[in-house]
Amino acid sequence: MDSHFQKVKEYLLELNFNIVEENESDGVFVVENEEAGIKNVVLIVADPILIVEQYLFDLKDGSSEIFKKLLIKNRDIIHGAFALDETGNKVLFRNTHECVNLDLNELEATLNSLALLLSEYANELIAFSKE
């Protein structure tokens, strides 16, 4: 895991992400890039995979209309997708990668996809968080 952790760290630094928190024993990074509108993205190196997650909002009501809109938008997201946490109450952006094949371009594509999603879909996400 150490080599994968270091590889991810190098990629994050090369992509100009600020590492807010880092815990090598748990394989966790928390990163931000204010220029891209990304804050508190969690990356977990859980060999053999890298998990990239961004908390978006809490569901106040399990409205099927919100789920429908999120699933429709999933189709437009190039890298990653909306997901629910284990409680079913938190909506996340999530993507996973195989550590052994991970390269800079793949990680950059996921983070760019998240930034694009947040910029294009921000008003809808805010509205969902209030419903």
Residue 93 near residue 85 (C-beta atoms within 8 A): no
Alpha helices (H) along 15-121: 64-74, 104-120
In the predicted model, what is the mean pLDDT of residues 88-109?
95
* Tens digits of residue pLDDT in 65-85: 888 999 999 999 999 999 999
Q: How many folded domains does the chain comprise?
A: 1
Instruction: Report residue 64's pLDDT band, with 50, 70 and 90 as the boundaries.
Output: confident
Q: Which domain holds residue 8?
A: 2-130
The model carries a pTM of 0.91
Per-residue model confidence (pLDDT) at position 62:
66
Residue 61 near residue 52 (C-beta atoms within 8 A): no
How far is it, in rounded angstroms, from Cα 42 to Cα 53? 5
CATH of the domain at 98: 3.30.1460.10
| Mean pLDDT rounded to a whole number for the chain | 93
Instruction: Using the predicted structure, report yes or no on whether residue 49 has a pLDDT greater than 60.
Output: yes
SS3 for 21? Answer: strand
